[in-house]
């Protein structure tokens, strides 16, 4: 997030696109509603009529995969009506003319047809967004899990730049992070091309810096992303796989493909707190401590590094992940010992510019937001204040391209996936909480009443859902939250797993799979 | 315009309407048409005349003949004799309208003669459903004058200098309120009318809305001009269907005539208003609860400050006055400060409408100048206590007020004198009690009301009034103890001192004031276990008097077999065994059994 | 910020002019009791426990709602004030089950605390008491209106902060109680089980359905960060006998004292019997428990063998968005410095 969560409450306009905030980030969802109650305007764009849509000033029930078209069209309206922030554009941005050229064709009438919404609603949304003094955009996987996910993010950023909303309090571009420490995992170099702090592995000066600090030789070759690893494992070019705290057997696209891959590696190590669907396929399973059994830090969506503290002992012989990793590292001959996570954080601070000022004693009460380059730096509430990291804000206009998956007579419906309030990711934790399971016991598919009627399907009935990759059985939930040509399945459940159906088509830039658009057919079980 | 030789005015207030005055009207019209008098006689349905005791009321002008309790079958006689032959039908006249064989017109009747009507000026005089009649009685002249000749500041100055104080309860200076609302900053402001009249027995606001709705509309427009508001709301109880209907008709007519809406009287001033219906919660008469209710929230009071003048409806500056207060404004505007100040007392100018009820001959609405002694109201206008009973006390201010004893009957009534006596003006309820009223029971009655009407928001009112009621119930049931009186007093003080809104803060008043003047009655209940007024059944015993003929009926119905006696001889009741079920009393054909 | 000078209990103090008396008193270290106050909510001024004497005011004033004004003189603990508070507690007790011995809230119940502080040892009133059926329809908490003191915090948190509006006040006067519309029960309402109402209840009316019996004084609180989504809510784990028995929200910068259903009630996985507690090695298709040394030895052997046979590029690791920064750092360091490949990724995209 460019901005902070507490700023949500003071926004003039909140534009939520591709995020079911009240279910997936409930506490931010509540703060959006607080802002709305204080008079903020709310725009919601989503294929489903999510809870926030009921509070919205404009709700755009777009066809899955048409975000870029919508965003470009909103920019078309804004420029057409002269609502852009001219001063900001002139002073703080580059390549504005490129944008003007590109969005010219994206008239609301034309795009209304693509997104399957009323053109007037596009205009209304554009005006509300542009006229707000502090307009914040909030998005999640609905923007990114597409073949053109990166372009979707760029389109979001173009819109924010166009109205001068980056580098401003209670505005900005705010991806909502789905997992407790996905921000931290990225920051810490859990990426094939990045050392901690997004320092590129292929840059010699960076390589040199880390070789020096870590006192070892390092490879300048960019590593493999998860989909590439899965592919490589299936092909035989990846032979050893070590999975810590992940459950790709539920969360990754095309599970049948993942299964083959995992079974094909020479040696699979899984480190987790439960024997997950993935762990079951391992050669060695290492028992880890849960968040309540160890010290450490998580970095949240707003870049705030906050403490995690040990409350109880881990069960049996389970150990904190950092201890296990250190033990293995040492046994492999890399002899570096840490007495505590605090000491690891000190090393992180020494190699990661954004975390330069972080230490446990500074974050014991309230966490700090990076960039926090030095011990005296107070942390950064919102990014790009006054000046952009790169100098000027660059418009990166992107054309709308249809999704890879398309419907045909055999697979006539678009399936989109997501989460529900009561579960979290692959349910390894929430599936073991009685009350949560009671509220959301089984996998289901949301089907519009008209569609259900056409297919002669009744609420609560078991149905077969098939994509070009596989078939699952799940329960029909008939609701007008969803449009007639679209269906929704939460991906949490191993039984009736949505990701059996999804495809592995990747965004070539971010390598993110196109999970939000899958062509399926639905059949009554006779 | 037609000139009529006679007008038949029929009361269309709620009381007379429920005694079928609407049918009287039809019958009059019907017969007048039959007799071919419809060019000469006009039938008008007016608002309330005030003397509800005498309803349904029919007045025939020009004589001002005051017919009371008219039935459908009486109409023909009035038409035949009075309207056709010009002979007043004496047998149907109100009894106070005949003295020494001379017939008095309505305005010579004691009940009316001693009143001075400002707020009720048009009630019982004009048809509330005809804007022209209001206009004919100088209606909208005050507004016209203000809009064309006066600045908003000048309007507020007039209201301030008139000394008008809020007629809804506490008597807050109206001009000051207008001034606060005018000074409050805000792009939107609201003018609110509190027509959520809730005091038991009080119905002056209803009568004004039923009888003279335009006076409220005119006043609210004036207020809008004065404070800079373009929108008004009248919050009125849904239990007042006639008032609601007539007010809506009046609003529609005013809009049609350009007296509401855009560019009123061509002056560029915009003001419009809407009715909001309340569901009958007493607490919604409290201004912040009323505002919450208009907003669609639960009718619960909000803590003050902030006051509505700064943060009222939808957090915008709002002016809120009650119906009677507004009804005074147009005439103050028209007749001026000096005229208004010449009526009433120095600190309470003008008049006040009271709803007289209880043990009094003439129940109904009376409007008197401030400063009129209670005695005059009760005896001269009210006609005194019926059945030769002795006056005991009068309760003013409804459930929030207190009682005033015979010693203070000569006190001139105004806001301050009533407070000094431990009571209050309230909205003008005045319930007279005679020697048969038990003051503990009266306190219990009012507490029962406040417990029922507490909104439940704050602890002292929600929990405390219930406990006070329970103690009072115990006392009236003969189960009270001496300590209960102190407990009651302590609780009353805490509730008064700590409750959130006016309802809770004044709920203990009936108890505190009866304790002040009639502590001995409480003591009699808890120490001697007797009820001096003979009201509290549990403290009374049944006795058989010498009216007994010895029919044995009582003994036969007595479930505890405590009545003994031989046939044709006087029976007696063993009070130690008696369970006080009252079956004997009901069974006795000779009224020989009494409670003492 | 303009300031004003006021006098509290005869002591002069300068405070910002938008302070309430309560805030000013707090600044001076004076403890004024409150039952319905929550700084995040609009002042409700309903419990009347925070009343104080303000010079010149006819009635006692609620310090939670009344703003300071220059020259104001305030008494927070005068005899009159203390008597009023005692009476209010007396009244609340009269309509509250006297079951502190077995009530799970005992020890953190505000009513209990204040009755103790103000020496209210029994209620002096008898009469009607509440008698509501307990709503236990939610899998996560009970609504026992017999214990409710109508402070309204739950209702206001639900409407002002959570904006779910699942609960409200029903009926009026003495019968006022907190319920769902038409008494349909929590589980049938629009409730999202966030439990923020439960967290603010000052008495035992809204209580989590706990699997463990514990008294607050037996637990220690451990401040930590929620392990579910990326909002980073701050919370306190309640720990008794090496078990997490409850969660209370903390006032973190991103959550301001709120949590969602997962954060508030989704902690029982920690103590779940399915937890892995020993390393497992697959032998003949079956997992067999092993020692750490055996497991480590096997991993090191495989790494060394495969590395010498095929080089570093056949290694890959998925680090975890669920683990700490320190662990992610070590994971990528293990792969880069220990094994020699950059094939480290995690599920940021899923």
A264 domain residue, yes or no: yes
Which residues in chain B touch residue C48, judged by CB atoms under 8 angstroms apart? 458-460, 498-500
Same domain, B430 and B449: no
DSSP conformation letters of C77-127: S-HHHHHHHHHHHHHHHHTS---TTT-TTTTS-HHHHHHHHTT--S----S
Contact check, Cβ <8 Å, C322/A181: yes
Same domain, A223 and A275: yes
Same domain, B479 and B559: no
Show which of B340, B367, B399 is a domain's final residue.
Answer: B340
Contact check, Cβ <8 Å, B457/C128: no
Choose the mutation target among B298, B299, B456 for the interface with C, i.e. most C CBs under 10 Å.
Answer: B456
Q: Is A103 on the interface with C (CB under 8 A)?
A: no
The 10 Å Cβ neighbour count of residue A407 is: 15
Same domain, A47 and A103: yes
As beta bridge partners, residue A522 has: A465
DSSP state of A422: T
If we measure between CA atoms, which residue out of B269, B139, B257 comes closest to residue B249?
B257
Same domain, A263 and A362: yes
If we measure between CA atoms, which residue out of A374, A342, A378 comes closest to residue A355?
A374
pLDDT (0 to 100) of residue A402: 86
CATH of the domain at A444: 2.40.40.20
Give CATH for domain C217-275: 2.20.25.90
How many beta-carbon pairs under 8 angstroms link A with C?
A: 473
Q: Judge C/A contact: 3 or more CB pairs < 8 A.
A: yes
Query: Which chains neighbour C (Cβ–Cβ under 8 Å, 3 or more pairs)?
Result: A, B
Contact check, Cβ <8 Å, C45/B458: yes
ipTM confidence score: 0.93
A488 domain residue, yes or no: yes
Residue-wise pLDDT for B324-380, tens only, equals 999 999 999 999 999 999 999 999 999 999 999 999 998 999 999 999 999 999 999
Same domain, B460 and B508: yes
Same domain, B210 and B266: yes
Tell me the pairing of strands A240-244 and A267-272.
parallel
B169 domain residue, yes or no: yes
CATH of the domain at A330: 3.40.50.740
Interface residues on B facing C, Cβ-Cβ cutoff 8 A:
281, 298, 300, 302-303, 305, 451-460, 462-467, 470, 487, 490-491, 494, 496-500, 505
Contacts of A324 (CB under 8 A, 6+ apart): A271, A286, A288
pLDDT (0 to 100) of residue B1: 59
Residue with tokens 């590696």: A265
Asked if A309 contacts A324 with a C-beta cutoff of 8 angstroms, the reply is: no
DSSP conformation letters of B283-304: GGGSHHHHHHHHTTS-S----S
Structure tokens at C224: 């930590």
Contact check, Cβ <8 Å, B497/C80: yes
Provide the CATH topology of domain C3-77. Answer: Ubiquitin-like (UB roll) (3.10.20)
Q: Given C224, C260, C277, which is nearest A287 (Cβ)?
A: C277
CATH of the domain at B411: 3.10.20.600
Contacting A residues, span 443-482, partner chain C, CB-CB under 8 Å: none
- Torsion of Cα atoms, B84 then B90 then B94 then B96, to 10°: 130
Report the distance separating Cα C307 and Cα B488, nearest Å: 90
pLDDT (0 to 100) of residue C301: 95
Residue-wise pLDDT for A194-251, tens only, equals 999 999 999 999 999 999 999 999 999 999 999 899 999 999 999 999 999 998 888 8
If we measure between CA atoms, which residue out of C27, C33, C35 comes closest to residue C52?
C33
Contacts of A269 (CB under 8 A, 6+ apart): A240, A241, A242, A243, A282, A283, A284, A285, A286, C299
pLDDT (0 to 100) of residue B541: 85
Q: Is C41 on the interface with B (CB under 8 A)?
A: no
Same domain, A267 and A120: no
Same domain, B499 and B575: no
Report the distance separating Cα C73 and Cα B201, nearest Å: 42
CATH of the domain at B548: 3.30.70.20
The range of the structural domain enclosing residue A491 comes to: 413-524
Query: Which chains neighbour A (Cβ–Cβ under 8 Å, 3 or more pairs)?
Result: C
- Break chain C into its structural domains and give their ranges: 3-77, 217-275, 283-349
As a three-state string, the secondary structure of A237-248 is: CCCEEEEECCCH
Q: Is A146 on the interface with C (CB under 8 A)?
A: no
Residue A272: left if φ>0, alpha if ψ -120 to 50, beta else—which one? beta
Contact check, Cβ <8 Å, B298/C168: yes
B117 domain residue, yes or no: no
pLDDT (0 to 100) of residue B204: 93
Residue in B closest to C152 by C-alpha: B457
pLDDT band per the 50, 70, 90 thresholds, residue B426:
confident
The 10 Å Cβ neighbour count of residue A63 is: 22
Helix (H, G, I), strand (E, B), or coil: what is residue B76?
Answer: helix
- Whole-number percent of chain B with pLDDT over 70: 100
Q: Is C84 on the interface with B (CB under 8 A)?
A: yes
A13 domain residue, yes or no: yes
Q: Is A286 on the interface with C (CB under 8 A)?
A: yes
- Tell me the mean pLDDT in the region C142-168: 96
Show which of B506, B528, B550 is a domain's final residue.
Answer: B528
Q: Given C46, C51, C173, which is nearest B452 (Cβ)?
A: C173
Asked if B316 contacts B126 with a C-beta cutoff of 8 angstroms, the reply is: no
Same domain, B75 and B168: no
Show which of A334, A369, A404 is a domain's final residue.
Answer: A369
Helix (H) or strand (E) holding C206: strand C206-208
pLDDT (0 to 100) of residue A210: 94
Report the distance separating Cα B212 and Cα B207, nearest Å: 8
Q: What are phi and psi of B291, to 5 degrees?
A: -65, -45
Q: Is A382 on the interface with C (CB under 8 A)?
A: no
The 10 Å Cβ neighbour count of residue A114 is: 18
As beta bridge partners, residue C295 has: none
C-alpha gyration radius of chain C: 27
Report the distance separating Cα C205 and Cα C179, nearest Å: 11
Report the distance separating Cα C224 and Cα C269, nearest Å: 16
Q: Given C194, C229, C348, which is nearest A180 (Cβ)?
A: C229
DSSP conformation letters of B293-339: HHTTS-S----SSSPTTTS-GGGS-EEEEEHHHHHHHHHHHHHHHHH
Residue-wise pLDDT for B497-528, tens only, equals 999 998 999 999 999 999 999 999 999 999 99
Contact check, Cβ <8 Å, C172/B456: yes
The range of the structural domain enclosing residue B336 comes to: 131-340
Show which of A176, A198, A224 is a domain's final residue.
Answer: A176
B35 domain residue, yes or no: yes
Q: Is A360 on the interface with C (CB under 8 A)?
A: no
- Tell me the mean pLDDT in the region B220-246: 95
CATH of the domain at A156: 3.40.228.10
Q: Is A37 on the interface with C (CB under 8 A)?
A: yes
Sheet holding C243-249, edge to edge: C220-225, C234-240, C243-249
Residue in C closest to A197 by C-alpha: C329
What distance, in Å, lies between the first and last C-alpha atoms of chain A? 48
Q: Given C266, C304, C315, which is nearest A429 (Cβ)?
A: C266
Is residue A304 over pLDDT 90?
yes
pLDDT (0 to 100) of residue B582: 85
Report the distance separating Cα B147 and Cα B222, nearest Å: 8
Contact check, Cβ <8 Å, B496/C47: no
CATH of the domain at B518: 1.20.1440.230
Contact check, Cβ <8 Å, C343/A313: no
For chain B, give the mean pLDDT. Answer: 92
Contact check, Cβ <8 Å, C91/B499: no
Which residues in chain C touch residue A433, judged by CB atoms under 8 angstroms apart? 265-269
CA B48 to chain centre: 12
Residue in C closest to B466 by C-alpha: C174
Q: Given B451, B456, B463, which is nearest C94 (Cβ)?
A: B463
Helix (H) or strand (E) holding B195: strand B190-195
Contact check, Cβ <8 Å, C274/A274: yes
Same domain, A238 and A301: yes
Same domain, A282 and A421: no
Show which of A122, A155, A176 is a domain's final residue.
Answer: A176
- Tell me the mean pLDDT in the region B154-158: 96
B121 domain residue, yes or no: no
DSSP conformation letters of A121-179: HHHHHHHHHHH-SSEEEEE-HHHHSSTTHHHHHHHHHHHHHHTT-SSSTT-SEEEPPSS
- Burial state string for A298-334 with b = 16 or more CB within 10 A and e = fewer than 16: bbbbbbbbbbbbbbbebbeebbbbbbbbbbbbbbbeb
Residue-wise pLDDT for B103-149, tens only, equals 888 888 888 888 899 999 999 889 999 999 999 999 999 999 999 99
Contacts of A136 (CB under 8 A, 6+ apart): A3, A7, A8, A11, A13, A14, A15, A165, A170, A171, A172, A174
Contact check, Cβ <8 Å, C59/B464: no
Q: Given A5, A252, A432, which is nearest C269 (Cβ)?
A: A432
Contact check, Cβ <8 Å, C230/A182: yes
Same domain, A190 and A170: no
Structure tokens at A181: 């420490």
Same domain, B74 and B195: no
Q: What are phi and psi of A282, to 5 degrees?
A: -80, 165
Residue-wise pLDDT for C172-206, tens only, equals 999 999 999 999 999 999 999 999 999 999 999 99
- Tell me the mean pLDDT in the region A513-517: 88
Q: Given C163, C226, C323, which is nearest A244 (Cβ)?
A: C323
């Amino acid at each position: 997030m460019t901005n902070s969560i507490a700023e949500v409450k003071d926004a003039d306009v909140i534009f939520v696109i591709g995020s079911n905030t009240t279910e997936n980030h409930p506490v931010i969802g509540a703060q959006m509603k607080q802002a709305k109650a204080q008079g903020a305007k709310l725009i919601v764009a989503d294929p489903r009529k999510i809870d926030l849509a009921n509070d919205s000033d404009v709700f755009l029930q777009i066809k899955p995969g048409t975000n870029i078209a919508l965003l470009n069209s909103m920019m078309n309206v804004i420029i057409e009506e002269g609502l852009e922030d001219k001063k900001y554009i002139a002073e703080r941005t580059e390549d504005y003319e490129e944008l003007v050229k590109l969005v010219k064709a994206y008239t609301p009438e034309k795009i209304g047809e693509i997104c399957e919404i009323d053109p007037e609603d596009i205009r209304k949304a554009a005006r509300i967004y542009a006229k707000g003094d502090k307009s914040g955009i909030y998005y999640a996987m609905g923007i990114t899990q597409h073949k053109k996910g990166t372009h979707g993010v760029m389109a979001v950023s173009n819109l924010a730049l166009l109205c001068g909303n980056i580098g401003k309090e209670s505005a900005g571009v705010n991806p909502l992070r789905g997992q407790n420490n996905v921000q931290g995992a990225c920051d810490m170099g859990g990426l094939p091309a990045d050392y901690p702090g997004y320092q590129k592995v292929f840059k010699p000066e960076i390589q040199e810096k880390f070789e020096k600090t870590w006192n070892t030789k390092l490879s300048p070759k960019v590593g493999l992303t998860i989909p590439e690893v899965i592919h490589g494992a299936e092909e035989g070019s990846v032979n050893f796989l070590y999975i810590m705290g992940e459950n790709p057997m539920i969360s990754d696209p095309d599970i049948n493909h993942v299964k083959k891959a995992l079974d094909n590696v020479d040696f699979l190590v899984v480190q987790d707190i439960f024997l997950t669907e993935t762990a079951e396929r391992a050669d060695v399973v290492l028992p880890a401590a849960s968040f309540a059994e160890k010290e450490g830090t998580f970095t949240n969506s707003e870049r705030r590094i906050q403490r995690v503290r040990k409350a109880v002992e881990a069960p049996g012989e389970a150990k904190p992940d950092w201890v296990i990793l250190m033990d293995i590292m040492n046994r492999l001959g890399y002899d570096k010992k840490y007495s505590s996570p605090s000491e690891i954080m000190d090393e992180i601070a020494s190699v990661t510019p954004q975390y330069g000022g972080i230490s446990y004693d500074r974050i014991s009460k309230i966490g700090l937001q990076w960039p926090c380059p030095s011990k005296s730096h107070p942390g950064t509430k919102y990014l790009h204040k006054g000046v952009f990291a790169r100098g000027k804000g660059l418009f990166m206009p992107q054309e709308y391209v249809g999704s890879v998956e398309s419907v045909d007579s055999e697979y006539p419906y678009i399936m989109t996936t997501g989460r529900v309030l009561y579960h979290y990711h692959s349910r390894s934790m929430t599936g073991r909480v009685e009350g949560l399971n009671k509220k959301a016991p089984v996998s289901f598919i949301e089907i519009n009443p008209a569609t259900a009627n056409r297919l002669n399907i009744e609420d609560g009935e078991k149905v077969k859902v098939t994509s070009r990759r596989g078939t699952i059985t799940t329960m029909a939930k008939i609701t007008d939250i969803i449009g007639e040509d679209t269906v929704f399945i939460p991906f949490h459940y191993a039984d009736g797993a949505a990701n059996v159906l999804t495809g592995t088509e990747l965004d070539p830039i971010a390598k993110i799979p196109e999970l939000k658009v899958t062509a399926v057919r639905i059949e009554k079980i006779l | 315009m037609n000139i009529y030789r006679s007008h038949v005015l029929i009361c269309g207030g709620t009381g007379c309407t429920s005694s079928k005055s609407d049918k009287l009207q039809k019958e009059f019209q019907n017969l007048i048409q039959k007799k071919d008098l419809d060019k000469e006689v006009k039938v008008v349905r007016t608002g309330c005349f005030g003397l509800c005791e005498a309803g349904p009321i029919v007045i025939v002008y020009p004589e001002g003949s005051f017919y009371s309790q008219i039935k459908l079958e009486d109409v023909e006689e009035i038409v035949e004799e009075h309207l056709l032959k010009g002979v007043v039908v004496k047998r149907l006249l109100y009894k106070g309208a005949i003295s020494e064989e001379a017939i008095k017109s309505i305005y010579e009747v004691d009940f009316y003669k001693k009143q001075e009507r400002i707020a009720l000026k048009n009630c019982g005089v004009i048809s509330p459903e005809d804007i022209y009649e209001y206009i004919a009685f100088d209606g909208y002249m005050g507004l016209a004058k203000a809009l064309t000749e006066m600045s908003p500041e000048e309007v507020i100055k007039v209201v301030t200098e008139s000394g008008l104080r809020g007629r809804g309860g506490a008597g807050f200076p109206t001009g000051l309120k207008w001034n606060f609302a005018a000074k409050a900053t805000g792009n939107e402001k609201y003018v609110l009318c509190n027509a959520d009249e809730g005091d038991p027995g009080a119905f002056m606001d209803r009568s004004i809305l039923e009888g003279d709705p335009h006076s409220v509309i005119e006043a609210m427009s004036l207020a809008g001009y004065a404070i800079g508001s373009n929108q008004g709301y009248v919050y009125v109880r849904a239990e007042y269907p006639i008032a609601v209907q007539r007010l809506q008709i009046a609003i529609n007519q005013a809009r049609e005539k350009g007296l509401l809406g855009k560019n009123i009287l061509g002056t560029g001033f915009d003001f419009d208003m809407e009715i909001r219906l309340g569901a009958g919660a007493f607490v919604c008469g409290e201004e912040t609860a009323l505002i919450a209710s208009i907003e669609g929230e639960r009718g619960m009071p909000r803590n003050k400050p902030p006051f509505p003048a700064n943060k009222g409806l939808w957090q915008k500056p709002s002016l809120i006055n009650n119906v009677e207060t507004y009804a005074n404004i147009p005439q103050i505007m028209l007749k001026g400060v000096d005229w208004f100040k010449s009526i009433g007392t120095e600190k309470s100018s003008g008049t006040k409408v009271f709803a007289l009820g209880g043990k009094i001959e003439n129940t109904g609405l009376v409007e008197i100048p401030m400063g009129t002694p209670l005695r005059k109201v009760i005896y001269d206008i009210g006609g005194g206590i019926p059945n030769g009973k002795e006056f005991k006390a009068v309760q003013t201010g409804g459930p929030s007020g207190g009682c005033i004893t015979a010693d203070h009957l000569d006190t001139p009534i105004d806001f301050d004198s009533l407070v000094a006596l431990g009571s209050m003006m309230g909205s003008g309820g005045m319930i007279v009690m005679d020697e048969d009223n038990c003051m503990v029971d009266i306190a219990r009655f009012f507490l029962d009301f406040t417990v029922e009407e507490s909104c439940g928001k704050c602890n002292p009112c929600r929990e405390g009034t219930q406990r006070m009621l329970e103690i009072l119930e115990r006392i009236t049931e003969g189960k009270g103890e001496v300590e209960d009186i102190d407990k009651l007093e302590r609780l009353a003080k805490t509730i008064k001192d700590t409750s959130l809104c006016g309802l809770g803060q004044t709920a203990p008043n009936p108890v505190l004031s009866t304790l002040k003047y009639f502590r001995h009655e409480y003591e009699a209940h808890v120490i001697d276990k007797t009820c001096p007024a003979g009201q509290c059944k549990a403290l009374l015993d049944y006795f058989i008097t010498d009216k007994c003929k010895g029919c044995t009926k009582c003994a036969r119905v007595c479930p505890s077999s405590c009545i003994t006696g031989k046939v044709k001889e006087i029976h007696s009741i063993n009070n130690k065994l008696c369970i006080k079920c009252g079956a004997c009393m009901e069974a006795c054909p000779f009224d020989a059994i009494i409670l003492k | 910020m303009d300031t004003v000078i006021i006098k509290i209990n005869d002591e002069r103090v300068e405070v910002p002019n938008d302070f309430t008396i309560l805030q000013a008193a707090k600044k001076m270290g004076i403890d004024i009791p409150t039952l319905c106050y929550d700084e995040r909510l609009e002042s409700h001024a309903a419990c009347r426990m925070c009343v104080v004497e303000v010079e010149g005011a006819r009635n006692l004033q609620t310090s939670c709602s009344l703003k300071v004004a220059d020259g104001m003189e305030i008494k927070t603990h005068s005899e009159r004030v203390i008597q009023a508070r005692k009476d209010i507690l007396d009244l609340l007790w009269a309509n509250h089950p006297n079951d502190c011995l077995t009530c799970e809230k005992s020890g953190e119940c505000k009513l209990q605390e204040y009755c103790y502080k103000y020496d209210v040892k029994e209620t002096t009133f008898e009469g009607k008491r509440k008698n509501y059926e307990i709503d236990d329809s939610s899998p996560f908490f009970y609504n026992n209106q017999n214990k409710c003191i109508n402070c309204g915090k739950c209702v206001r948190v639900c409407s002002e902060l959570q904006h779910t509006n699942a609960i409200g006040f029903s009926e009026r006067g003495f019968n006022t109680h907190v319920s769902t519309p038409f008494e349909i029960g929590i589980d049938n309402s629009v409730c999202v089980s966030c439990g923020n109402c439960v967290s603010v209840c000052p008495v035992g009316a809204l209580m989590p359905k706990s699997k463990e019996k514990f008294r607050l004084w037996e637990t220690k609180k451990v401040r930590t960060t929620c392990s579910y989504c990326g909002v980073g809510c701050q919370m306190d784990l309640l720990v008794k006998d090496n078990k997490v028995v409850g969660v209370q929200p903390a006032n973190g910068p991103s959550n301001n004292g709120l949590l969602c259903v997962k954060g508030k009630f989704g902690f029982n996985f920690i103590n779940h019997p399915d937890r892995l507690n020993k390393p497992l090695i697959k032998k003949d298709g079956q997992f067999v428990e092993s020692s750490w040394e055996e497991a480590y030895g096997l991993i090191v052997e495989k790494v060394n063998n495969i590395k010498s046979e095929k080089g570093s590029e056949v290694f890959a690791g998925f680090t975890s968005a669920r683990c700490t920064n320190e662990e992610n750092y070590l994971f990528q360091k293990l792969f880069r410095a220990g094994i020699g490949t950059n094939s480290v990724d995690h599920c940021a995209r899923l």
